[in-house]
Each structure stands twice: as C-alpha cells, then as structure tokens.
Chains A and B, each alone.
Chain A
Amino acid sequence: MSLEKAVCDLVRQHWGELHQEGQAPESLVFLKIAGKTSPNASIIAMVLDAYKHTPVAVAKIPRNPQSALGLKREHEAMNDLRTSIINTDLLSHTSAYGTLLDYNGVKILLQIAGMGHPMVRQMTSRKTVEELYGKILPWMADFHAEGAEECILEGIVLGDLVKAPIDRFMEKYVAASNCSLSDTTKQFFTELPDRVEGRRICLCRQHGDFNAHNTLVEYSDRHLKNFTLIDWEDYRAGQLPVHDLNHFFTSNSNLLSAGNPPEESYANFVLNEGWYRDLYTQAIATYEDRGLIDRDTFMMLTPLYLVDMCSRIEDVQRAQQYTAPTWIKRLNKYIESHVRKVQ
C-alpha cells in the first residue's frame, strides 16, 4: 500500500485524536505540499475532505524512515503545549492536536490542519503587513507570557543561555566560515555575560521558527479572520524571550525587499528607522508591558538570537558554507547599529 493511501486510512482511524467532534469523512484526498531538502527532513502532506473540499489533517512522513527525530521533537512539543497551556484561546491558534503513529515501522505524525493559507501570500503591502502583525504580535506576547518564569540572569541560567551558545558559536561556526566577526562584535560577546549578569527576565516557551511561512491565515471579506501557528519542531521551553519576536521580524523582512541580500533587508527594515522598525519597537514595548523583559535587556540579548540561528543547522560544514555567512553579516550589522545607538 502506498503512503498516500496509508495516511488517509490512519486519519480515518485516529479521527478522534485530531478532531474533538464529528465523524471521519468517507473519502479523503492526499496532497503532498512540502518537504525541505535535507536528507532527514519530513515530507509534508495535507489530507482533504473530498466532500467539503477542506483540509482535515496534516501528515508528516520522515524522508529517512530510520530517522524521525524531528517528528518526535514536534510531537513532544505538541504534548507540552496541550498539557502546559491553560488558556484554551491561546491553544486554539496552534496545531497542538495530533498523534505520532507507527506504520510498518515508520513514524508518521498526524496533526489537525490549520485553516487558510501561509501568511507569506498576504504580505504584499504595508497595510496588509500592519493588519497581520496587529493581530499576531499581541497573541505572540500572550503566548510567551503564559507560564513564563521570572528569574535573574546568573549562575547556571547565565551559563546555559548566554555563555554556552556564544562559546559554541565561536568555536564551531565562526572559525571556518567565509565571513568573520568584526572586532566590535567580538568585543561585544566578550563583555556580554558580565553586562547582563544580574538582570531580571522571564524564561518562556519559544516556537523556534515563528515566521510567515509557518503562520496560516484565514480571511473573510478581505479581513483576517483567524491564524494558526504550525511546525513546532524547534519548540523549546525555558528560553530567553528574544528568539521568536526577532525571528518573526528578521525572517519576514526578506519578503519585503525580495531580490536584495538577506542582510540588506534586515538592515533596511529592522535596523533602520521606518514603519517596519516602528512595529518592532511597539512589539518590544508589549513584551515590556507583559513583564517579560525590559527593552534594554532585549536589545542586549538579541545577538544571541542571531547566534542561535547561525548554530541551528547541526551539519557544521553545511552551516559554515551556506547559512553562517548571512547570519554573521546580520550580526555585525546589528552590533554596529546597537553600539552606535548606545554611543
């Protein structure tokens, strides 16, 4: 039997774990919709109700049947979200319902399908971006504030969340990449642990890849009706509250100036004055209002997000060749801009 048929059967059999109500449709259609290129990534398919013409589930199938680490991580994230988030309204904007199944020794992750289409398609003008961000960013702040734990940056927390990522980054990614860190950046990282030690922040859950590709939006009469955050593979709890917000603005900035190198889009939209940066500043202010982090500490810790993105690809050689140079350029630009502002 092909995976196409097997997945449709599994959706029927496990309907109750995906949907709280209703019965599985008799006829389902399998539609392969994505798949990143790395050998251990997942192949993603949508399962559609053949009568209503609507998506009812998403299936993730490992490209390598012997390695389903990403799917297991995402399943753990889904479980954690369901068990730790009390606010059901927050949970309703996530793809947290689903199950990890074993089909002839192959792990298949079934999830409830988010309605709508990727937000990418709507990011065509300042007006649409402002409307989208106006709805999504307050939710993001609430999501991060839910269950956040206040702490002081010192001891193990400082070591694990600040010193260790910097050391790993310097050791593995900077040394052999094509693009070197500026002296200002090196000095910044040397001083960073001391500068942030003793500051109060809240540790919170982070999606890990919160951007326009992983946000599905549903429109009604040309107005945003609903949105769903998908793809929880990189989810982590107990993190600094700087990753998702920075990633949302940085990653999406590429879409606003398509054709330009990513580091230029980043500088033009996130670092330079303008309407997009105003949205960014407002979002940080919301974090401050929620008591997650103060503005100065947020700006100080933002380079750790850039470091994290640089170190994300586990294949060090591939990261050095393809991703590290872009992130290092962004990092240099950010530090230069940040230092200039401080001065």
Chain B
Amino acid sequence: MSIFICPTCRSLLTETDQIYSCTGCKSVWPIVYGIPQFAHSEVKWSVFENDVADKVTELAEKTTWQKAVDTYAHTLGAYTLRYIKDESRADWHVILPLGPEVTILDIGSGWGNIATSLCKWCRRVYCCDVSMTNLRLLQTRMRDRAINNVTTFQYEPNDFLRLPFPNTSVDIVILNGVLEWMGAADIDATPDRVQVEALKEIRRVLKPGGVLYIGIENRYSISTLLGQKIHGELPFVGLLPRRLSNFITKRLRGEQHRTYIYSIRGYRQLLKHAGFHQNDFYLPYPSYHHANYLIPLEPKWVKRFWLDQLSLSRSRKYKLFQELGLSRLPFHWLAYSYSIRCTK
C-alpha cells in the first residue's frame, strides 16, 4: 500500500502498472520515470537554460549527476554552480527535531541539496517539485550517492497546494525559498491567499508537534531598499503597497506582481492566519541560501552578541556602527532573509 493518497479527494490510491488510481474520485495519476505525477501541468524552472536543463538531465541519467553538471558547468556562474552542489545549505537542520523515525517533506526540492543532507538524519525524505526535469535530475543525484530513503513526486503548480498525504502523517515540512513562488500559481486568487492555503495544507499533513521550516527573504531588507531585484520583480516594486505594485507591474510587464514576500510582522500574521501560533524566528547570515550563522531573534541580546563578538567585518563602517552602539537597534528588521521554525 502506498503512503500517497489522492491529492484531489484524499481517498486511497491503488498502484497498477505505472499508474496510481484513486478509489474515490477515479482520478488517474501516472508514474513517469519512476516519479508519481500528481499534476496536470508543469512549470519548467532551472538555473540552466531550458534546453540545457533537458540535456543535463538526460546526460545525468546516462552517466552520472556529477559528470552532467560538470559538462554544462560553463553555462553557469561560479556562484550558481556552488549553489547547486553545496550540501551545507541545509545546516539549519540543527534546529529541527530530526531522528531515525522522522519523515520529512521537502516542497520545492530543486537540486536536492537539502534532501541529500537531511536524508542522513531521518527515516525518509519526500521531495516534491513542480518540474519533472528537476525531479529526474534529483533522482540521478540520489542514485549516484546510493541514497535509497528519498522518494520524489510532482505536485500541481497551478492550483492551491494539495499534498498527497493523509492528515497528521509527516513530522517535518521544508519550504526553503518556495513560499514566495507559491503565490505565483496561475489561479484566480490573490498570492497571499494562495500562500495561506498552502500553509494550511502543510499544517494538515503535519503531526501534532511537527515542524514547518521556512527560509525566505525579507520584504524590507537593505537589499530591497537599495533596489535589488528579488525573484525577477522590478526594483523597489515589492516595497510598495500591493495594489500599487500590481498596477505598476501590470503596466510595465503585462502581468501581476505575485511573488509576495513580507516583513517579519507580515510573516507572523500570515502564519497566524494559517494556524501556526508557535513560531521561532532566526536570522540566517549571510542569507537563508547559505546560513553560515543562524542567530535566534529571541532572546534579543543574542543578535547583539553575535554582531559585537563574532562578526568578521574589518571595515571602518562596521567599526563606526559598533562604536556608536547601533548594534542595540533592531537591525534584524532590515535583514536579507529569515529562517522560521513553526511548530504545530
């Protein structure tokens, strides 16, 4: 019997030759390349150009993940190459209740860096993504590393999040750099509503005491205030009231602004709406992509201790910042990103 249930009606599924059939609504979900497709559409996203992404995946399936990535490494920048290879990106797992009996759901698993790291600390990792190409590539990475406790599946990108899991069946859910993209689903609902519904769906599958980990950017970070483009949006647009940002993006690009990110207060409200009331915020430095430091925002003195004692900055600006006692200010309001641990 499969652990999966029908994402549409939540009835049991039966598995026959490369197909999952729903015993309730009679939906049929194919299994392609060994990956259950709980989706009717696909979003192709990759750090590689689309045609290159397919070639990388095909080469990885024929040879090895490493060889395929190295072959096409010249099409990527050094940062991106490190980003997809780096297995230290999930070091924030130290704040999660991992253990030999724990099951993890990694939503938007991308390159599999996080799954590769977490699978050593738990019973099973379920990796899901909206791109079959990414999932196929991820499978080759696991195959080459002889990792056999990672299961993949595709989920529907253009609908409210519907997970193929029964209620209270997962211990930990990971949303690392994904929640903002959920708002981009091509459906008739506001991005914040799509995000709240996704969080509610995650809460449904979490066991009591289970944990949701979120890694995400801050809407009012120094970077966005200085005009850095986040998620391909127009600079400064994300800082504006949502109606205005939608209006401007529509006028200039012909599409809505949908990749919503929030301030620390905004995240608290969003999580509260979704039913998460016990939320611990951390400051990942330099960013949630690679959290060299993970600084709890409570108690408050810890971030000041970090800045005064552990920062490696040798710049005059930093010295001035320190001498003026500015480390006492709530500078985390302007941090690039946050790591959030939400307990059910």
List residues of chain A with CB under 8 Å of any chain B CB. 1-4, 7, 29-39, 41, 43, 45-46, 48, 50, 53, 55, 61, 63-66, 104, 116-118, 120-121, 123-124, 255
- CB neighbours (8 Å) of A50 from chain B are 299
Task: Name the CB-closest residue of A to B100.
Answer: A104
Task: Name the CB-closest residue of B to A117.
Answer: B309
Assess the A2–B96 pair: CB atoms within 8 A: yes
Assess the B291–A53 pair: CB atoms within 8 A: no
Q: How far is the CB of A61 from chain B (nearest CB, A)?
A: 7
For residue B52, CB closer than 8 A to chain A, the reply is no
Task: Name the CB-closest residue of B to A39.
Answer: B87
Task: Name the CB-closest residue of A to B315.
Answer: A124
Assess the B98–A3 pair: CB atoms within 8 A: yes
Assess the A32–B291 pair: CB atoms within 8 A: yes
Inter-chain contact count A-B, CB under 8 Å? Answer: 87
Partner of B120, one of A32, A65, A124, A255: A65
List residues of chain B with CB under 8 Å of any chain A CB. 82, 86-88, 91-100, 117, 120-121, 291-296, 299, 301-302, 305-306, 309-314, 319
Alpha-carbon gap, A43 to B120, bound state (A): 14
Alpha-carbon gap, A78 to B76, bound state (A): 43
The 8 A-B pairs of least Cβ separation, nearest first, read A32-B294, A3-B94, A37-B88, A4-B95, A39-B87, A35-B91, A2-B97, A117-B309
Partner of B292, one of A34, A41, A124: A34
Interface centre among B96, B99, B314 (most CB of A within 10 A): B314
- CB neighbours (8 Å) of A53 from chain B are 301, 305
Alpha-carbon gap, A4 to B302, bound state (A): 15
- CB neighbours (8 Å) of B121 from chain A are 65
Additional 16 contacts, C-beta under 8 A, given A31-B302, A35-B88, A39-B87: A1-B97, A2-B97, A2-B98, A29-B296, A30-B296, A31-B293, A32-B291, A33-B310, A43-B88, A43-B91, A43-B94, A48-B302, A65-B121, A120-B314, A121-B313, A124-B319
- CB neighbours (8 Å) of B311 from chain A are 117, 121
Assess the A31–B295 pair: CB atoms within 8 A: yes
Alpha-carbon gap, A50 to B302, bound state (A): 9
- CB neighbours (8 Å) of A124 from chain B are 314, 319
Interface centre among B92, B94, B98, B292 (most CB of A within 10 A): B94
Query: Can you offer 6 A-B residue contacts whose CB atoms are under 8 A?
Result: A31-B294, A32-B294, A33-B310, A36-B88, A63-B88, A104-B100
Alpha-carbon gap, A46 to B121, bound state (A): 21
Assess the B97–A121 pair: CB atoms within 8 A: no
Interface centre among B82, B292, B301, B311 (most CB of A within 10 A): B292
